[in-house]
Amino acid sequence: MKVPFLELSLQHRALRTEALAALAATYDATRFCLGKDVDDFEKNFAATLGYPRALGMNSGTSPLHAACMIAGFRPGDEVIVPPFTFISTVWGVNYVGATPVFADIEAATFNLDPARLAAAITPRTKGVIVVHLFGQPARMDEIMTIARRHNLFVIEDCAQAVGARYRDTPVGIIGDAGTFSFYPTKNLGGCGEGGAFVSRREEVHTQARHIRVHGSDRRYYHDIVGANFRMEGFQGAVLNVKLPHLATWNARRQAIAARYLSGIRLADVILPATPDYGASVWHQFTLRHPRRDALREHLAKHEIGTDLIYPVPLHLQKCYTVLGYGPGAFPVAEQAAATCLSLPIFPELTDAQLEHVISSINSF
């Protein structure tokens, strides 16, 4: 039985008629950049997930960039980031000329370790970017306590955690700014590039709204330096079709994860932790095993697709050699990169496929 790591065509086939009708309406009305579809999506997104307001943007990288601009990070400033995440988490820090400083993750959740965050703070530290990696909320109480003590601007990268809550609060509005990606493979994916910006602080939201359209509130008047971070009308239209399904899709991911957690019985495997402060929306199900490559090969022989997310921690990426970190700098992240294996987890995965993955793992 074939089990792809991810199969996007199933979801898009199921929604084809509805999605194409929505796209046709947008086409006919020539609502190409921002416009009613994006307005509606922002309202629906905020209402569905519990945000005071939201801004549609053109990727998940753009709201991170906007957040770094609003935070006022400047050359000489340090911004703390975890080294085990997608590289885009860090780009905004570079774009504004500040310096990324890595702080290691905790082994159990793959997320920023509050103790390592506290230890990395210097007089130059101005902010921290927290990632809710794989859909699992990070330890926000501890992180916010440290951030407040040092007056840090807190950005939450929620690209993989749409729909997740930390205790009772949706991720993204615990810190100062929250960012989402609607890249097609994310839990809520557009038909192209997309992202969103949220903040519980109205003045931060207003700045992001102006930055998104060239630093402008009024056409051809530019009060602040901005960018073009506009969401396209087509993405708003298709996301409006998909958003009502997000809760069901996330619930299916949670059911798949629960079955993996109860069904996988393999010596030396480390399964992802499920802390009680916030349920994961399982963007990825990532286990660890000391013989990861052999396990991956074994699963490939059983026609099961897997992925290495992520194979190289950020401090060891070529683009960051300039920061001067070497192997051994962040042992937990390095260990995670060396042993992690992500299993198929998408809403359309069938129970038969799921059982095939579990029995194949258990026969390794």
Ligand X SMILES: *Cc1c(COP(=O)(O)O)cnc(C)c1O
Binding site for ligand X (CB under 6 A): 59-61, 85-86, 88-89, 131, 157, 159-160, 181, 183, 193, 195
Q: Between 66 and 159, whose beta carbon lies closer to ligand X?
A: 159
Structure tokens at 116: 């390592």
Reference 214, options 223, 229, 227, 204; nearest CA is 227
For residues 195-214, b (16+ Cβ closer than 10 Å) or e, as one string?
bbbbbbeeebbebbbbbbbb
- Asked whether 104 and 82 are in contact (CB, 8 A), the reply is yes
Report in angstroms how near the CB of residue 63 gets to ligand X at its nearest.
9
Q: Between 101 and 269, whose beta carbon lies closer to ligand X?
A: 101
Please give the residue whose beta carbon sits closest to ligand X in the complex.
60
Q: Between 61 and 353, whose beta carbon lies closer to ligand X?
A: 61
Report in angstroms how near the CB of residue 126 gets to ligand X at its nearest.
20
Report in angstroms how near the CB of residue 221 gets to ligand X at its nearest.
29
**DSSP codes, 231-269:** PBHHHHHHHHHHGGGHHHHHHHHHHHHHHHHHH---TT-
Q: Between 63 and 353, whose beta carbon lies closer to ligand X?
A: 63
- Residues 6 or more apart in contact with residue 165 via CB below 8 angstroms: 50, 137, 171, 278, 279
Give 283: exposed, middle or buried? Use CB within 10 Å, 0-12, 13-18, 19+: buried
Report in angstroms how near the CB of residue 75 gets to ligand X at its nearest.
23
Report in angstroms how near the CB of residue 364 gets to ligand X at its nearest.
28
Q: Between 26 and 89, whose beta carbon lies closer to ligand X?
A: 89
Report in angstroms how near the CB of residue 160 gets to ligand X at its nearest.
5
Structure tokens at 325: 């970190």
Q: Between 90 and 354, whose beta carbon lies closer to ligand X?
A: 90
Q: Give the integer Cα–Cα distance in Å for 252 and 242.
A: 15
